[in-house]
């Protein structure tokens, strides 16, 4: 589904990603872990198409297409979803209206007819129950005055509504208490199936207690330095990132 080959990217001439290789298949959950500044969020941003970053080398194919040939909205149309670390606020724009626009724009891209108000409402009700989100939140301006937990829950709700092939969760656990993490993770788990995939980007192991990955990759200094089964996260939790830093300092 997603195939990253020798990806290099930089921001303002500063090299951040220095040759990432990664293969994600339908039905899989991958986690990217790593210390601060290792390039985790950059990877998520580059995949989603944020303009600040320049891809200097390598290639990414997503669902059979060259990802870098697609604009950010086309990537969304193809089924790539990014749950933001810091979801933005848009005052005056109701969350429902925003999501309705998004759903119908994506449908348009796929050559499907726009949902009318009744069909949209039905879909919304179904997904609201699934990810445990309240109607009152959706009537408010997009993310305006939302707590950290509400913002992240709203991200997962949008993911449910857009039903992506690949969901990238960028530090979705940051700033959340353990209850909020559990709610968000439950939502994500309910959305998993054999046809979609999830890429979890996180600093801490705790989110992975709830969203259990098939593979964990450790990102350090712009490269994946180690990949392994979910137990790798426990090792990191125990020993911290220092042993990774020690081990790979020479190469850095």
Partner 1 sequence: MNNELSAIEKTVLSDYKYGFVTEIEADEAPPGLNEDTIRFISAKKNEPEWMLEWRLKAYNHWLKMQEPNWANIKYDPINYQSIKYYSAPKQKKKVNSLDEIDPELRKTFEKLGISLDEQKRLSGVAIDAVIDSVSIGTTFKEQLAELDIIFCSISEAIQEHPELVKKYIGSVVPITDNFFSALNAAVFSDGSFCYIPKGVRCPMELSTYFRINAEGTGQFERTLLIADEGSYVSYLEGCTAPIRDENQLHAAVVELIAHENAEIKYSTVQNWYPGDKDGKGGIYNFVTKRGICQGAHSKISWTQVETGSSITWKYPSVILKGDYSVGEFYSVAVTNNHQQADTGTKMMHLGKHTRSRIVSKGISAGVSQNSYRGLVHVGKNAANARNFSQCDSLLLGDKCGAHTFPYIEVKNNSAVVEHEATTSKIGEDQIFYCNQRGIDTETAVALIINGFAKEVMNQLPMEFAVEAQKLLAISLEGSVG
The CB-of-79 to partner 1 minimum distance in angstroms stands at 10
192 closest CA partner among 27, 59, 68: 27
Per-residue interface string for the shown chain with partner 1, residues 136-175, x marking contact by CB under 8 A: -----xx---------------x---x-------------
179 binds partner 1 (CB under 8 A): no
Question: Nearer Cβ to partner 1, position 17 or 83?
Answer: 83
Can residue 242 be called a binding residue for partner 1 (CB under 8 A)? Answer: no
What does DSSP assign to residue 123? Answer: H
82 binds partner 1 (CB under 8 A): yes
Angle at which helices 95-109 and 148-162 cross, to 10°: 30
- For partner 1, give the closer residue by CB, 38 or 143: 143
Separation of alpha carbons 191 and 213, rounded Å = 14
Residue from 12, 50, 7, 66 nearest 168 by CA: 50
The two most distant CA atoms of the chain are separated, in Å, by 60
Contact present, 149 and 157 (Cβ < 8 Å): no
Q: How many residues bind partner 1 (CB under 8 A)?
A: 32
Euclidean distance between CA atoms 221 and 56, whole angstroms: 16
Rounded to the nearest whole angstrom, what is the least distance from the CB of residue 232 to partner 1 in the complex?
29
Contact 45/69 with Cβ under 8 angstroms? no
CB of 252 to partner 1, least distance (A): 30
Does 88 sit near partner 1 (CB under 8 A)? yes
The rounded distance, in Å, linking the Cα atoms of 208 and 173 is 10
Which residue of 29, 32, 67, 106 would you call a contact of partner 1, by CB under 8 A? Answer: 106
Supply the minimum distance, in Å, between the C-beta of residue 220 and partner 1. Answer: 27
Q: Which chain residues interact with partner 1 by CB under 8 A?
A: 48-52, 71-73, 75-77, 81-82, 84, 87-88, 90-93, 97-99, 101-102, 105-106, 109, 141-142, 158, 162
């Amino acid at each position: 589904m997603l195939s990253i080959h020798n990806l290099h990217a930089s921001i303002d001439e500063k090299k951040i990603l220095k040759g990432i290789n990664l293969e994600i298949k339908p039905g899989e959950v991958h986690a990217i872990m790593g210390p601060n500044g290792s390039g985790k969020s950059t990877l998520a941003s580059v995949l989603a198409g944020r303009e600040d970053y320049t891809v200097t080398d390598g290639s990414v194919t997503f669902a059979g297409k060259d990802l870098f040939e697609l604009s950010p909205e086309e990537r969304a149309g193809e089924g790539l979803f990014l749950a933001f670390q810091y979801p933005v606020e848009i005052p005056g724009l109701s969350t429902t209206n925003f999501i309705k626009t998004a759903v119908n724009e994506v449908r348009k891209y796929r050559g499907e007819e726009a949902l009318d108000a009744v069909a949209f409402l039905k879909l919304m009700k179904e997904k609201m129950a699934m990810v445990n989100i309240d109607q009152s939140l959706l009537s408010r301006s997009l993310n305006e005055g939302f707590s950290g937990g509400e913002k992240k829950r709203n991200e997962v709700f949008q993911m449910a509504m857009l039903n992506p092939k690949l969901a990238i969760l960028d530090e979705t656990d940051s700033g959340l208490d353990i209850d909020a993490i559990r709610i968000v993770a439950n939502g994500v788990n309910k959305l998993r199936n054999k046809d979609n995939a999830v890429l979890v980007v996180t600093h801490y192991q705790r989110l992975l207690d709830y969203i259990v990955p098939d593979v964990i990759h450790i990102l350090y200094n712009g490269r994946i330095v180690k990949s392994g089964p979910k137990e790798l996260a426990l090792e990191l939790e125990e020993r911290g990132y220092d042993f990774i830093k020690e081990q790979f300092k020479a190469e850095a």
